[in-house]
Amino acid sequence: MRLTTKGRYAVTAMLDLALHGDQGPVSLADISARQEISLSYLEQLFSRLRRHKLVTSIRGPGGGYRLSREADSVFIAEVVDAVSESLDTTRCGNKGDCQNGEKCLTHHLWSDLSDQIHQFLSDISLGDLMRKREIQVVADRQNRRHSEGDSQTINTERLTDQAPA
């Protein structure tokens, strides 16, 4: 299986959005800071996620993104598919031309594995992941670190504003 950064980051960002969405729209800048994913990369991913109607955008002050439906009805395979990520484990892109234009000896094995992976991810929702204790622990740690970073930035800004000219 070759799940690249695009699919991993899309799932990570969507899970972050699901975890923080109860507090209102979530900004990509906040997701970027918590997950250490480039803001410009997130903008590209969320453009695709919006086109596939997995998220909705809220404009204006306090705007950001929300899941377009409940976390329990957003499945990981949908997120991966939305960013055009392939879960194909064959060498031929499942075209069946892997050996001199014909199927190789193990083509069906790798094709079946791709199907199994996709089915596995189709059975896991963002809600399922949100309820996992180990994910909650990581999210709490990230939230604390993000909050501490915000307060350090505010304190630095206050010191800068008060510095003599």
> What pLDDT is stored for residue 111 in this prediction?
87
How far is it, in rounded angstroms, from Cα 20 to Cα 55? 13
Residue 46, domain CATH: 1.10.10.10
Q: Give the C-alpha distances (Å, rounded to integers) separating 127 from 17, 79, 117, 124.
A: 11, 13, 19, 8
Q: What is the pLDDT of residues 76-99, one digit of tens each?
A: 999 999 997 677 777 777 788 888
Structural domain includes residue 43: yes
> What pLDDT is stored for residue 139 in this prediction?
94
Domain count, the chain: 1
> What pLDDT is stored for residue 22 in this prediction?
92
Structural domain includes residue 75: yes
Q: Which domain holds residue 25?
A: 5-94+107-131
Query: Is the pLDDT assigned to residue 41 strictly greater than 90?
Result: yes
> What pLDDT is stored for residue 158 in this prediction?
42
Structural domain includes residue 115: yes
Structural domain includes residue 161: no
Query: Is the pLDDT assigned to residue 64 strictly greater than 50?
Result: yes
Q: What is the pLDDT of residues 96-132, one digit of tens each?
A: 888 888 888 998 998 898 889 989 999 999 999 999 9
> What pLDDT is stored for residue 85 in this prediction?
66
Structural domain includes residue 150: no
> What pTM value is reported for the model?
0.82
Across 14-26, average pLDDT: 96
Structural domain includes residue 50: yes
Structural domain includes residue 157: no
> What pLDDT is stored for residue 151 in this prediction?
56
How far is it, in rounded angstroms, from Cα 157 to Cα 154? 5
Q: What whole-number percentage of the chain has pLDDT above 70?
A: 87
The closest of 22, 17, 23, 24 to 49, measured between CA atoms, is 17
Structural domain includes residue 82: yes
